[in-house]
Amino acid sequence: REEAYPLTVINRFVDLLFMTDLVLNFFTAFYDVNIGKWEFNQKAIADHYVRSWFTMDLLSTLPYDMLTYVTSGLGGLKILRFLRILKLTKLLRMLRAGRIFD
């Protein structure tokens, strides 16, 4: 479908931004409230990220529009509903990003 092409390009760009953010979060220091200091240790940063937002971030980087297109040919209505629900993770992630910039 030719009319959907611009939207596909925008979706891939957004997915690329989310993937970049996912990688950068493994290297971004965080404030450890237990010790009252910023944590700069790479292993501690990665552990903290994996235990906190990593799953949500990973789910939000999946190209659901492409998965929907692939599964629609299989007739998997339940799969399509599940993928639509998972698309909400992108919205939640954007809301989280909005809170950071406030």
Query: Residue 32 carries which DSSP code?
Result: E
* pTM, entire model: 0.67
Q: For 37-93, what is each residue's pLDDT tens digit?
A: 999 999 999 999 999 989 888 887 877 767 666 665 655 556 666 666 666 777 777
Neighbouring CB atoms inside 10 A of 59's CB total 16
Q: For 20-34, what is each residue's pLDDT tens digit?
A: 999 999 999 999 999
